[in-house]
Chains A and B, each alone.
Chain A
């Protein structure tokens, strides 16, 4: 069999975002992380590569900040790290991201499978895995909750809105997995130490021959604040707080 590539994204941790009074978005205190759902994709890539007796490698596209993701990714069982260093990644859209990832996938020897999460925790646009498939003209299976090896291909179970589907796919292919597919293990100290010694390959965005200009024009980017009543009962006896809440719910007519 051949190599498995897990694609992941180094994202701003949304828990650190602040929305200012004028609805501008404050990124100043934001730390990065591997997008939560991508940890499932990495774990699944490792599982399949292990079953095949092959290597799973990681691939990301980001600004210089994404470099710190590689060691984290490698501590999760991947054998080699590939990362594309591009200033343009800050404003890249799904089209550019998919083309950059696909360009490097084509440069890695003998790739049989690309595993992605459905979407990243920052944009959650759920388009990059399908687009990678289109750029490479490979088959794509999304919404996958289970993967089994079936001869030269894979048997996958998809959870759709109205049914479950069992779908067989030929390789090479791109698969997007749902978070329920596995529980990613937390890397142990040994895995973290070993990660530092694994090979890392850096590509420069400018060397890939891609036009990174976004296909849409962003005309507004602002914080969203829900208008809610924020009536919080916090002082006094439990019974009093409950009485006040029950009265409010009755008045609202939602019971």
Chain B
């Protein structure tokens, strides 16, 4: 069956992509690899759910089988949630199909028989729009579309897995810090901090305003002062808090990529020419060690004084 074929290991993103498919008037076919997902997604508005049964626990191992299915069904688009599993499945399927793949789209639309996708390049400095002709693949981050409702018909089919990769063990992620993607306020430290003990100054500010602590890639991967999951940037966490405050962050574009959806950006740094100030709503040029304790004090009072 022609239409938009959809997969995500994140059910919310899958539901959002189904919403997109229905809104542009296409058939929506959801691929599920386990019965539970097929059941949970039964009322997500998809026309059909293909329940693919095979011998591997790794969804990515079905890339070739999925590519063959898409071709056989004459799919118009394979839209996949942009998670680690989704990205791999999408790119391997695109490789087997030798077709287009636009990854991590910032926007996706359909008009006059063409899908039009937008994505960021060069760490968010450049925006590119591309049109897809014929079967193509896109990966879609969460929050781009609204879900719909409606019952789906579930169709089971057997698929072959690539057995050369096998799952040995699954372990939960042991978080050493907060889940930054959900944080309401974030205080971020950068290489402008002189020594590890100075993190306490940043923590005091974070505590005063109820923020999570985060850092730049350099702090996590060169100095190892904070765990890797707390660095913000294109290869790290991408956040969307109400308030982001940076301390001693120069604002390289890879970092800015991770904060661009913040509601309000505040930068504090000694270097007046630091790029962070171009990306900031508010900023203070000055010595961190003088500014941050004063700010902590001022905001602590405001938070306490504020009527509930």
Contact = CB atoms under 8 A, between A and B. Distances in A.
Interface string B207-246: 0010000000100011000001000001100000011000
Interface in A66-105: 93-95, 98-99
A216 B298 contact: no
Contact of A167 (B58, B124, B185, B279): B58
Interface string A213-255: 0111111111110101111111000110111011011101011
Interface in B103-128: 103-104, 116-117, 119-128
A37 B221 CA distance: 12
Contacts of B92: 130-131, 133-134, 140
Interface string A163-200: 11111111001000011100100000000000000000
A162 interface: yes
Contacts of B291: 238, 241-242
B263 interface: yes
Size category, A interface: 35 or more
Given A134-B63, A233-B283, A220 B127 contact: yes
Interface stretch (A2-10, A49-57, A119-127, A201-209): A119-127
Interface residues of B, number: 95
Nearest to A36: B254
Nearest to B252: A15
Contacts, number: 279
Contacts of B164: 138-139, 169-170, 173
Most-contacted residue by chain A among B103, B252, B303 (CB, 10 A): B103
A214 B132 CA distance: 10
Contacts of A168: 165-166, 168
Contact of A249 (B99, B123, B166, B266): B266
A25 B123 CA distance: 13
Given A143-B84, A254-B242, A231 B281 contact: yes
B88 interface: yes
Most-contacted residue by chain A among B10, B88, B98, B133 (CB, 10 A): B88
Given A168-B165, A249-B299, A118 B235 contact: yes
Nearest to B264: A254
Instruction: Tell me whether chain A's interface is mostly helix, strand or loop, or mixed.
Output: mixed
B14 to A, nearest CB: 14
Most-contacted residue by chain B among A124, A138, A170 (CB, 10 A): A124
A167 to B, nearest CB: 6
B171 A163 contact: yes
Interface in B163-204: 164-173, 185
A168 B131 CA distance: 38
A110 interface: no
A200 B168 CA distance: 39
B88 A130 contact: yes
Contact of B100 (A25, A140, A216, A246): A216
B284 interface: yes
Given A134-B96, A249-B299, 9 more contacts: A14-B254, A95-B100, A124-B123, A161-B83, A163-B171, A164-B171, A215-B100, A220-B129, A233-B285
21 contacts: A14-B125, A25-B122, A25-B126, A124-B121, A126-B104, A134-B92, A138-B164, A143-B84, A163-B172, A164-B172, A166-B170, A168-B165, A183-B222, A221-B127, A224-B124, A233-B283, A242-B291, A245-B282, A249-B266, A254-B242, A254-B264
Interface of B: 9-10, 58, 60, 63-64, 67, 83-85, 87-88, 90-96, 98-104, 116-117, 119-133, 136, 162, 164-173, 185, 209, 217, 221-222, 228, 234-235, 242-243, 252-254, 256, 260, 263-266, 272, 277-287, 290-291, 294-295, 298-299, 302-303, 306
